[in-house]
Amino acid sequence: MSAMANLTGIAASIGIGINTVFWASYVLIVAAIRWLLKPLPASQKPLLKAMDLTIDGWVSGNRVMFRALGIGQVELDWVGAQPSRDRWYLIVSNHQCWGDILVLQNTLRHRLPPLRFFTKAQLIYLPFLGFAMYLLGFPYVKRVSAEAIAQNPALKTADRDNTMKACERFQALPTGVLNFLEGTRFTEAKHASQEARFENLLNPKIGGLSFVLSGMPEHVHEMIDVTITYPGPAPSFWEFLCGTPARVRMRVDVVDIPGELRVPDYGPQEKARLADWIEQRWQAKDRRLRGIAPADV
């Protein structure tokens, strides 16, 4: 990697750090004001809206910096209706590297309401960023082993309870809920270990998606199905910040969520329907990934 690329990566890292500290400090101040004014219910929604500015501000700061440094330039192919920032959406995407999150946020910033995504519980300990995400209502999930659940059965419903609590807040203001259905970044080793049914994707997990659909059945009517393709192997996060690759292709399909999937109570029948629907979406996504050669991206 060239010296210029490394300088780009250093500049991007410093820029993200400064941007994060600034907006995380802002959300901590607004959250403290919200807590002090809790006895005044009329104050809560305006303050929640003020806190949501944190997400837009953080993404906008990163977006300007990335454009100036030439990082993650996106070739966008949009299929379907144009969305509105005044509505609620589910966003699903394939997941290959940490840069995916920044690509999604930077590209969808002016098209969708502020994005919140499922994140690992361990990230709450990240300085500034982790606690700010918690205050902003990002759903935190834990990877719990069967042994741990056997010792503490309450852990079995912890992710569902956290998501449903987050959905209660999401109903107050338009929100985009992002879920990487593969549950982790794609690697050949993970692909082989789970005997994936797809050539370029890991098997999708519908648990978090079913929680959101049952938590906001009257709010979420459309899904933003995103397919991200890098030319060649997916970059590491450092390579991404260094501007490698310079271009990313993103395909966005706006699809209606069937009414039978937007219900408050998810039983075995509803889960089976959702699994079948997502399986069809994943098959189409896998075909798109197979059909895009590196030379075309």
Tens of pLDDT along 113-122? 999 988 877 7
- Cis geometry, peptide bond prior to residue 39 (ω within 30 degrees of 0): no
The per-residue pLDDT for 253 is 95
Give φ, ψ of 39 to 5 degrees: -65, -10
Rounded mean pLDDT, 271-277? 95
Q: What's the half-sphere exposure (Cβ side, CA atoms, 13 Å) at 85? A: 11
Tally helices (H) and strands (E) across the chain.
10, 8
286 and 201 Cβ atoms separated by less than 8 Å: yes
Q: 152: which residues sit within 8 A by CB, 6+ positions away?
A: none
Banded pLDDT at 297 (limits 50, 70, 90) = very low
The answer to whether residue 62 sits within a structural domain is: no
Whether residue 1 is contained in a domain is answered as no
Residue 57 located in a structural domain? no
Which segment of 57-71, 149-163, 167-181, 251-265 scores lowest on mean pLDDT?
Answer: 149-163
CATH number at residue 76: 3.40.1130
The larger pLDDT score, comparing residue 128 to residue 258, is at 258
Distance CA 72, CA 63 (A): 10
Task: For residues 160-174, give the mean pLDDT.
Answer: 84
Distance CA 139, CA 120 (A): 9
- Tell me if 85 is assigned to some domain: yes
Query: Please, which pLDDT band fits residue 237 given cuts at 50, 70 and 90?
Result: very high
* DSSP symbol at 257: P
Burial, 202: exposed, middle or buried (Cβ in 10 Å; 0-12, 13-18, 19+)?
buried
pLDDT classification of 240: cutoffs 50, 70, 90: very high
Residue 174 buriedness (CB in 10 A; 0-12 / 13-18 / 19+): middle
The whole-number average pLDDT for the span 110-114 is: 92
Q: Is residue 92 part of a domain?
A: yes
Residues 229, 74 contacting (CB under 8 angstroms): no
Q: What residue numbers bound the domain in which 124 lies?
A: 72-296
What share of the chain has pLDDT > 90, as a percent? 59
Task: Give the pTM.
Answer: 0.88
Number of domains in the chain: 1
- State the pLDDT at residue 295: 39
| Structural domain contains residue 200 | yes
Q: What is the mean pLDDT of the chain?
A: 88
How confident is the model at residue 67, as a pLDDT? 92
Q: Is residue 64 part of a domain?
A: no
Alpha helices (H) in the chain, listed in sequence order: 3-36, 44-69, 99-108, 129-135, 146-151, 158-170, 188-193, 207-215, 237-241, 268-291
Residue 223: name the closest of 237, 240, 209 by CA. 209
Note the pLDDT of residue 293.
41
**Residue 146: pLDDT above 70?**
no
Tens digits of per-residue pLDDT, 9-42?
Answer: 999 999 999 999 999 999 999 999 999 998 888 8
Angle between helices 99-108 and 44-69 (to 10 degrees): 110
pLDDT (0 to 100) of residue 38: 86
How many beta carbons lie within 10 A of that of residue 114, not counting itself? 23
Q: Is residue 205 part of a domain?
A: yes
pLDDT at 296 (0 to 100)? 38
